[in-house]
Amino acid sequence: MHAVCVYCASNSNVPRSHLDLADAVGAGIAARGWSLVWGGSSAAMMGSVARAARRGGATTVGVIPRGLVALEVADPDADELVVVDTMRERKRGMDERSDAFLALPGGLGTLEELFEVWTSGYLGMHAKPVVVLDPDDHYAGLFEWCRGLAAKGFVNPASLDFLTVTRTVDEALDALRPA
Ligand code: AMP
């Protein structure tokens, strides 16, 4: 079963449109017959993507550190909830269970997760798709800055190409599908 890892915001103060986006992604993953791997929280966008995936019939696998079970409201309805000791184990647990990675709008945690799979991908340590779904330019400033780093010689332009940036849910899912 094709497993897609979704990174997204855990903060509930994000705009409603982003919760709807997470919902549409969860529904889309289910409609394609895939499973969801995520950070195991039932809050905010993280909760929306998981609930929508399950509503559509997808299996959901959450990976969450013990210390965040209460803070991030670990999802009691996850088909599998893997409780680990550290953030590093969380990322490894998510990586190992996933065939492709999708970042939705998020904060520092989402950035941290995205950068790890992006950098390990362009260094050839994995060949799984890494996709960003950015319908409203949440990440525009970041990517502009990264292009500036390439122009100044700090970043190989091919590293930027390893990431697929999309505007719609369907484009993102197409970019995530099995080769
Ligand atoms: P945020 O984008 O800041 O709302 O965070 C999204 C998710 O990333 C939350 O579940 C955070 O706990 C998680 N997160 C934050 N830092 C890390 C990290 N170093 N490794 C793995 N997950 C993290």
Q: In this predicted model, what pLDDT tens digit does every residue of 124-177 receive, in sequence order?
A: 999 999 999 999 999 999 999 999 999 999 999 999 999 999 999 999 999 999
Nearest CA to ligand 1 atom 12: 109
Diameter of the chain by CA atoms? 48
Q: In this predicted model, what pLDDT tens digit does every residue of 148-160 receive, in sequence order?
A: 999 999 999 999 9
Residue 105 confidence (pLDDT) above 90: yes
Domain with residue 67: its CATH number is 3.40.50.450
Q: What is the pLDDT of residue 3?
A: 98
Nearest CA to ligand 1 atom 21: 87
Distance 162 CA to ligand 1 centre (A): 22
CB 56 less than 6 A from any atom of ligand 1? no
Q: Which are the contacts of 141, defined by CB distance < 8 A and separation ≥ 6?
A: none
Q: What is the DSSP string of 26-57?
A: HHHHHHTT-EEEE--B-SHHHHHHHHHHHHTT
Q: What is the pLDDT of residue 179?
A: 85
Q: What is the pLDDT of residue 97?
A: 98
Q: In this predicted model, what pLDDT tens digit does every residue of 50-72 receive, in sequence order?
A: 999 999 999 999 999 999 999 99
Share of the chain above pLDDT 90, in %: 99
Beta bridge partners of 169: none
Q: Which are the contacts of 107, defined by CB distance < 8 A and separation ≥ 6?
A: 9, 10, 11
Number of compact structural domains in the chain? 1
Residue 45 confidence (pLDDT) above 90: yes
Please say whether the dihedral angle defined by the alpha carbons of residues 41, 8, 21 and 105, taken in this order, is positive or negative. positive
Whole domain around residue 108: which residue ranges?
3-176
